[in-house]
Amino acid sequence: MTNWFIIKILFTIFFLTPTTQISASNPPPIQRQVTATPPPLPVLPLPTFSQLKWQRREIIMFFHFGVNTFTDREWGTGQESPAIFDPASLDAGQWMETAVQAGVSLAILTAKHHDGFCLWPSKYTDHSVAGSPWRNGEGDVIREFVDAAKARGVDVGLYLSPWDRHDRRYGRTKEYNEYYLAQLQELLNNYGGVREIWFDGAKGPNAPNMTYYFNDWFEMVDELQGSINIFSDAGPGIRWVGNEKGFAGDTCWSTINRTSLSIGDPTTLDYLRTGDSRGTDWLPPECDVSIRPGWFWHKSETPKTVGELLEVYYNSVGRNCLMLLNVPPNTEGLISDADVVRLKEFRRAIQTIFSKNLAGGCSVEASSQRGGVSGGFGPENVVGGDDDIWTYWAPADEYTGHHWIKLVSPKRLRFNVVRIQEAIGLGQRVRRHEVYVDGVRVANGTTVGYKRLHRLEKGVVEGRVVTLRIVGSRATPLISSFALHFDPFWHPNKQHQDKIVLM
Ligand code: FUL
Q: Which pLDDT score is estimated for 30?
A: 62
Pick the CATH number of 363-485 from 1.10.260.40, 1.10.443.10, 3.10.20.30, 2.60.120.260: 2.60.120.260
Distance 202 CA to ligand 1 centre (A): 6
Mean pLDDT across the chain: 92
Question: CA-CA distance, 337 to 97, in Å (whole number)?
Answer: 12
Q: Which atom of ligand 1 is nearest to the CA of 296?
A: 5
The protein residue whose alpha carbon is closest to atom 2 in ligand 1 is: 202
Q: Which pLDDT score is estimated for 25?
A: 53
In the chain, ranges of CATH 2.60.120.260 domains: 363-485
* Residues ≥6 apart with Cβ < 8 Å to 370: 37, 40, 377, 394, 395, 396, 397, 476
Please indicate whether residue 34 or residue 459 has the higher confidence score (pLDDT): 459
The protein residue whose alpha carbon is closest to atom 4 in ligand 1 is: 295
Distance 439 CA to ligand 1 centre (A): 47
Q: What is the pLDDT of residues 231-284, one digit of tens each?
A: 999 999 999 999 999 999 999 999 999 999 999 889 999 999 999 999 999 999
> Is the confidence at residue 500, as pLDDT, over 50?
no
Q: What is the pLDDT of residues 374-426, one digit of tens each?
A: 899 999 999 976 678 899 999 999 999 999 999 999 999 999 999 999 999 99
Q: What is the pLDDT of residues 160-214, one digit of tens each?
A: 999 999 999 999 999 999 999 999 999 999 999 999 999 999 999 999 999 999 9
Q: Which atom of ligand 1 is nearest to the CA of 75?
A: 5
- The reply to whether omega before 42 is within 30° of 0 (cis) is no
Amino acid code (one letter) for 103: G
Q: What is the pLDDT of residues 95-132, one digit of tens each?
A: 999 999 999 999 999 999 999 999 999 999 999 999 99
Amino acid code (one letter) for 231: F
Closest Cα partner for 108 from 139, 65, 152?
65
Q: Which pLDDT score is estimated for 494?
A: 55
Distance 241 CA to ligand 1 centre (A): 13
The protein residue whose alpha carbon is closest to atom 3 in ligand 1 is: 202
Distance 331 CA to ligand 1 centre (A): 19
Question: CA-CA distance, 249 to 253, in Å (whole number)?
Answer: 9
A 10 A CB-CB count for 492 gives 14
Q: Are strands 322-326 and 59-63 parallel, antiparallel or unpaired?
A: parallel
In the chain, ranges of CATH 3.20.20.80 domains: 49-355
Ligand 1 binding pocket mutation candidate from 117, 200, 241 (most atoms within 8 A of CB)? 200
User: What is the per-residue burial (b if ≥16 Cβ within 10 Å, else e) of 135-145?
Assistant: eeeebbbbbbb
Q: Which atom of ligand 1 is nearest to the CA of 200?
A: 11
Q: Which pLDDT score is estimated for 388?
A: 85
Computed from CA positions of residues 458, 460, 461, 464, in that sequence, does the dihedral angle turn out positive or negative? positive
User: What is the mean pLDDT of the segment spanning 461-490?
Assistant: 97
| Protein residues whose CB sits closer than 6 Å to any atom of ligand 1 | 74, 200, 202, 288, 295
Question: CA-CA distance, 105 to 476, in Å (whole number)?
Answer: 33
pTM of the shown model: 0.92
Q: Which pLDDT score is estimated for 232?
A: 97
Residue 322, SS3 per DSSP: strand
Quickly name the fold that domain 49-355 has: TIM Barrel (3.20.20)
Q: Which atom of ligand 1 is nearest to the CA of 113?
A: 7
Whether residue 377 contacts residue 390, with contact meaning beta carbons closer than 8 Å, is answered with: no
Ligand 1 binding pocket mutation candidate from 295, 325, 326, 327 (most atoms within 8 A of CB)? 295
> Is the confidence at residue 499, as pLDDT, over 80?
no
Task: List the Cα angle 118/291/111 in 5-degree steps.
Answer: 10
With bands split at pLDDT 50, 70 and 90, how would you rate the model's confidence at 491? confident
